[in-house]
Amino acid sequence: MNIDKKITDDLVANDISFVTTVPCKQLAGVIDEIENHDQIFHIPSNKEDEGMGLCAGAWMGGKRPAIIMQNTAIGVTINTLATLIQYYRMPLPMLISYRGELREPVACQVEMAVHTKALLAQMNIPTYHFHKQSDVEELDMILKYTFMCNKPVAILTDANFWGGYGDQ
């Protein structure tokens, strides 16, 4: 299974037509798939909170948005999540590379990983952790859920999900 294509196909199947991304090595393949898909309008973002603002505008303009980002910037998104996305009950699927977990080669990534799930829990954001590639089979149901309940949802994807960092 091509995991990047499966993710993109699930986004399209759920009428997600606006995606913003912040670069990440783990997410490069899915970002390329999204960039090349003719049913998705892709806008790269410089920062995650900026991307959430773009997604809010897309939602208010009648589009179904998603953001693809790293967990290391969860801290800078807290205000945007609380005062914009949650306050106005906007659905926002957040596909997040979960850096700093097992097999992480960059030590500084670990510090934010320690706080990621706790911050999401404190914000009452439903969070799913994809550890094995077969976990992607839940993505379609998660996307349906976020638009049904008008809530942001975090999908954490760790190094094992993406196949490691070339250490296999």
- The beta strand positions in 3-161, using DSSP E, are 16-21, 41-44, 64-70, 92-97, 127-130, 152-157
pLDDT at site 109: 87
pTM, full prediction: 0.95
Distance CA 107, CA 124 (A): 28
Q: Show the tokens assigned to 161.
A: 């999900």
Q: For all residues of the chain together, what is the average pLDDT? A: 94
Distance CA 93, CA 150 (A): 10
| Protein fold of 3-160 | Rossmann fold (3.40.50)
Q: Is 150 helix (H, G, I), strand (E, B) or coil?
A: coil
> What residue ranges do the domains of the chain occupy?
3-160
Sheet holding 64-70, edge to edge: 41-44, 16-21, 64-70, 92-97, 152-157, 127-130
Per-residue pLDDT band for 21 (boundaries 50, 70, 90) equals very high
* pLDDT, tens digit, 9 for 90 and up, residues 22-80: 998 899 999 999 999 999 999 999 999 999 999 999 999 999 999 999 999 999 999 99
Burial class (CB in 10 A: 0-12, 13-18, 19+), 131: middle
Q: Is the pLDDT of residue 165 over 70?
A: no
